[in-house]
C-alpha cells in the first residue's frame, strides 16, 4: 500500500512538473517574441525616427514614445536586448525540465534569483510607464506578463522540489498550499491587480 501511495505521489509530481515546465516554455517563447519584435522596431526607429510602429495604436498605447525615454535603455543599451539574451536561457531550462533532467540545487536557486530580479526590473518599467511616462508599450506589457508567469512557475518548481530545504512542518503546509492551487490563485489576483491599475490610470483613453 505504501509503495502504491508513493508511486501515485511521484506520478502526480511528474505531471505537475511537466505542466509547470510547459507553461514556463510557453511564456518564455512569448517573451522572446515580444523582445525580438521590440528589437526590430528599435532598428526601424533608428533608421527612420518618423516610423509609425505596428504597436503604436494611440497616445496611450505607443511603443515609439516609450522607446525614446531614458527608461528604455536603463543599462545604457535598449532593454529588449536583455530579453533576447535571457528568454532563450529560460527556454533551455524549460526544455531540460520537460526532459526530466535533475537540476542541481545551486542551479535552481540561481535561476530563481535571476528570474525574480528581472521580473522586478520589468515591474519597475511597468510602474514607470504607468505613472511617470504615462504611456504604455504593448509589447513591454507582454514581457511583464510573461515574467510574472515565469516567476510563478519557477517558484512552484522550487517549492515542489523543496529546493529551499524548508522545515518539515512548513514543507507540509507548502505542499498543501500548492495542492490547492493557491499559488495559481495568487498569481491570477496579482495580474488582475496590475490590469486594474492600468484601467484606473488611463480608463477610456486606452481605446481612444
Write the CB contacts of 66 (distance below 8 Å, at least 6 apart in sequence). Answer: 72, 129, 133, 135, 136, 137, 140
Identify the residue with better confidence: 114 or 50: 114
Reported pTM: 0.92
Identify the residue with better confidence: 113 or 4: 113
Confidence band for 84, pLDDT divided at 50, 70 and 90? very high
Per residue, the 3-state secondary structure of 66-81, as one string, reads HHCCHHHHCCCCCCHH
pLDDT attached to residue 12:
65
Write the CB contacts of 100 (distance below 8 Å, at least 6 apart in sequence). Answer: 14, 17
pLDDT digits (tens, 9 = 90+) for 97-112: 999 999 999 999 999 9
Confidence band for 2, pLDDT divided at 50, 70 and 90? very low
CATH 1.20.1440.130 fits 2-207, yes or no: yes
Q: DSSP label at 1?
A: -
Confidence band for 167, pLDDT divided at 50, 70 and 90? very high
Spell out the domain ranges in the chain. Answer: 2-207
pLDDT at 14 over 80: no
Write the CB contacts of 177 (distance below 8 Å, at least 6 apart in sequence). Answer: 183
pLDDT attached to residue 5:
46
Dist CA 85 CA 75 (whole Å): 14
Given a contact cutoff of 8 angstroms between Cβ atoms, the answer to whether 51 and 64 are in contact is yes
Amino acid at each position: 500500500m505504501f509503495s502504491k501511495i508513493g508511486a501515485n505521489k511521484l506520478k502526480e509530481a511528474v505531471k505537475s512538473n511537466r505542466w509547470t515546465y510547459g507553461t514556463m516554455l510557453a511564456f518564455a517563447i512569448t517573451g522572446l517574441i515580444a523582445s525580438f519584435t521590440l528589437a526590430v522596431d528599435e532598428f526601424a526607429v533608428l533608421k527612420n525616427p518618423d516610423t509609425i510602429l505596428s504597436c503604436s495604436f494611440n497616445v496611450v498605447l505607443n511603443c515609439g514614445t516609450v522607446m525614446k525615454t531614458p527608461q528604455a535603455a536603463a543599462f545604457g543599451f535598449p532593454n529588449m536586448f536583455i530579453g533576447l539574451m535571457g528568454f532563450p536561457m529560460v527556454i533551455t531550462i524549460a526544455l531540460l525540465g520537460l526532459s526530466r533532467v535533475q537540476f542541481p540545487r545551486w542551479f535552481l536557486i540561481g535561476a530563481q534569483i535571476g528570474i525574480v530580479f528581472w521580473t522586478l526590473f520589468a515591474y519597475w518599467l511597468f510602474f514607470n510607464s504607468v505613472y511617470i511616462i504615462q504611456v504604455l508599450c504593448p509589447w513591454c506589457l507582454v514581457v511583464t506578463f510573461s515574467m510574472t508567469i515565469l516567476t510563478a512557475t519557477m517558484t512552484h518548481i522550487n517549492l515542489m522540489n523543496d529546493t529551499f530545504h524548508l522545515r518539515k512542518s512548513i514543507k507540509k503546509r507548502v505542499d498543501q498550499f500548492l495542492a490547492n492551487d493557491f499559488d495559481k490563485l495568487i498569481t491570477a489576483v496579482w495580474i488582475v491587480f496590475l490590469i486594474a491599475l492600468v484601467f484606473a490610470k488611463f480608463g477610456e483613453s486606452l481605446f481612444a
